Structure 1
Amino acid sequence: MKTLGHFGKVLAIAPHPDDEVLGCGGTLARLVDEGADVTIAIATKGNPPAFLAEQVERVMQETQKAHHILGVRDTRQMGLPAAALDTLPAAQTNSAFAELIGDIAPDTLLLPFIGDIHLDHQIVFLAAMVAARPRNNDAPCQILAYETLSETNWFAAPTTPAFVPNVFVDISATLGRKLDAFAAFESQVRPFPEERSIEALKALATLRGSAVHARAAEAFMLVRQIVRSA
C-alpha cells in the first residue's frame, strides 16, 4: 500500500467535537501510524444557556479520549460559539482561522464540506478558505473536504452543492480505531438506524471502500492542490 507521505503536516478542522472522527477519523489514524504531524482543531464550544456546563465538559472529555484512540496528540480548542458562528462578524471568524493556520502552517487542510446543512460547517469552510489563500509559499498545498454523516447529505442537493468525492483514502487498517473513537463520544452516539450510529458509520466506510476496491475508505472532495517545484 502506498503511504500518505504527500499529505505532509496535516490540520483537520472540525466545526464541533466528533465531526473530525465522523469525516476523517480513519485517515487521521492512518496518518499518525505513518508518522505524520497531525493537529485537530475544534472550532466551537457550547455556551450556556443553550448548552449546559456539565454537558460541555463531558464532550471535552470525550474528545480527549477519542483523539487518544486515534493517536492524535495535538488538539486545539478555538472556543468560538457553537451553533452561533453566524452571530460573529466575518472579520473576527476569519482572523481566528488565519491565526490557527498561520501558527500550524499545514501542508494539508481537511475541512467540512461547504454544502453541509449545518451553518457552522459552512462558515468554518469559508473562513478556513479565506485563511488558506495562497498568498505565499506557506499556504496549504492540498485542501480536502470531508463528509459528515447527518450533515453532508441532509441539505438540498442539487439545489445546493452536492458532495461528489474524487479522492478516496483506504482506511481498512484503521476503521476499527475510527469506530472506537466515535464510540468514545457516548453523548453523541445514537442507535441504528440513526445516522450517527456505529453501524451507519461502518456502512458508509464499506460503501466508500467498495467504490475503489477497498474494504473501507473515507471519501473527500479535492478543493485545491498545488504542486510546487523543489
Structure 2
Amino acid sequence: MSLLSHSRRIAIVAPHADDEILGCGGTMARAVAEGADVHVIVVTRGQPPLFDEELVQRIRSETLRAHEIIGVKSTIFLDFPAANLDQLRRSDLNHALSSALARIDPDLLLIPFIGDIHLDHQIVFNAALVHARPRSSTGPSCVAAYETLSETNWLAPGVTPAFIPNLFVDISSTLERKIAAFCSFETQVKPAPDERSVEAIRALATTRGATVYRHAAEAFVLIRQIN
C-alpha cells in the first residue's frame, strides 16, 4: 500500500522553516497533486539577540512563498524560540504542538528524525510522538520521520541513532518543484558542495531513488503504521 494512497490530510512538523522542504518537499508536492490536503507546522522562529528580526521576517516570507509553490493548504507558526527549545517547559511545547495537530487531524504525520544533530529536531520528534500516541481511535494512522540534509547525517551514526530508511516515496515527477520551493529560501541556499545546495538536494534524491529503482525519491523511517 502506497504511503500516500490513503492519506487525505497530511501534517508535516518542521522544527525550523525549510526543514520540511529539505526533508519531504517532493512528497508534499506529490501529495498535493494527488488531491491531499498538506499542512505544515513550523515550531520555532528566530528571536533576538540570536537572530536579527529583519532576517526572521525575510525567512517567514520565504517560507510562505515556498509553501505556495508546493501547494500547502495551511501553514501554522508556533513561534517558539529557535535553538532554545531545551530551555522551555516540555509540557508547553507538547501542548501547543498537540493542539495544532488536533486541529489538522492528519492521517499521515511526517516529523524530523530523532538522530538529527540539532537538539531542536530531537525535542520536536519527541513532542510530535506525544501527540501521536495511539490512545484512542483518532490520531494519525501513519507516522514517519524524514531526512534533513545538514542535520540527519551530522551527529554520530553508530553511536547515536542512525537514519536507516525503510520507506521511500517516488518524487521523480515533483523533484523540480521541491528544488524550486527550496530556492525560495534565498537566505538558506548555499553553493555546492554545501549540503544546502541545489546540487546536494538533487544528488540525495537521485541516490535515494536509485536505491529503489526510481529516478528520484525521498526516504523515511517508518515509526508506526496502522492498517
TM over 0.5: yes
> C-alpha displacement at 1:5, in angstroms?
2.1
| Partner Cα distance (2:129, 2:223) in 1 | 10
Partner of 1:175: 175
Sort the Cα spacing of 1:180 and 1:213 in 2 relative to 1 into closer, same or farther, 3 A.
Answer: same
Partner of 1:29: 29
Partner of 2:158: 158
> C-alpha displacement at 1:41, in angstroms?
0.7
Partner of 2:218: 218
Judge conservation of contact 2:8–2:35 (CA < 8 Å) in 1. Answer: no
| Partner Cα distance (2:79, 2:48) in 1 | 13
Normalised TM-score (structure 2): 0.98
Judge conservation of contact 1:169–1:217 (CA < 8 Å) in 2. Answer: yes
Q: 1:181 corresponds to which letter in structure 2? A: A
| Partner Cα distance (2:3, 2:169) in 1 | 10
Judge conservation of contact 1:101–1:132 (CA < 8 Å) in 2. Answer: no
> C-alpha displacement at 1:4, in angstroms?
2.1
Q: 2:11 corresponds to which letter in structure 1? A: L
Partner of 1:43: 43
Partner of 2:208: 208
Are 1:194 and 2:194 matched, yes or no? yes
| Partner Cα distance (2:92, 2:68) in 1 | 31
Judge conservation of contact 1:26–1:174 (CA < 8 Å) in 2. Answer: yes
- Per the alignment, in what secondary structure is the counterpart of residue 188 of structure 2? coil
Q: Which runs of 5+ in 1 are unaligned?
A: none
Aligned length: 226
4+ long deviations beyond 4 Å: none
Partner of 1:104: 104
| Partner Cα distance (1:88, 1:3) in 2 | 34
| Partner Cα distance (1:60, 1:3) in 2 | 29
Q: 2:189 corresponds to which letter in structure 1? A: V
| Partner Cα distance (1:41, 1:199) in 2 | 27
| Partner Cα distance (1:222, 1:210) in 2 | 19
- Per the alignment, in what secondary structure is the counterpart of residue 201 of structure 1? helix
| Partner Cα distance (2:127, 2:67) in 1 | 24
> C-alpha displacement at 1:43, in angstroms?
0.6
> C-alpha displacement at 1:179, in angstroms?
0.4
| Partner Cα distance (1:190, 1:132) in 2 | 34
- Per the alignment, in what secondary structure is the counterpart of residue 40 of structure 1? strand
- Per the alignment, in what secondary structure is the counterpart of residue 163 of structure 1? coil
Partner of 1:148: 148
Q: 1:65 corresponds to which letter in structure 2? A: R
| Partner Cα distance (1:217, 1:7) in 2 | 18
Normalised TM-score (structure 1): 0.96
Matching of residues 82-121 of structure 1 within 5 Å: 82-121=82-121
Judge conservation of contact 2:3–2:169 (CA < 8 Å) in 1. Answer: no
> C-alpha displacement at 1:3, in angstroms?
8.1
Q: 2:94 corresponds to which letter in structure 1? A: N
Q: 2:4 corresponds to which letter in structure 1? A: L
Q: 1:158 corresponds to which letter in structure 2? A: G
Sort the Cα spacing of 1:46 and 1:166 in 2 relative to 1 into closer, same or farther, 3 A.
Answer: same
> C-alpha displacement at 1:100, in angstroms?
1.2
- Per the alignment, in what secondary structure is the counterpart of residue 96 of structure 1? helix
Are 1:59 and 2:59 matched, yes or no? yes
> C-alpha displacement at 1:132, in angstroms?
1.1
| Partner Cα distance (1:131, 1:81) in 2 | 20
| Partner Cα distance (2:178, 2:226) in 1 | 29
- Per the alignment, in what secondary structure is the counterpart of residue 6 of structure 1? coil
Tell me the C-alpha RMSD between the 2 structures.
Answer: 1.0
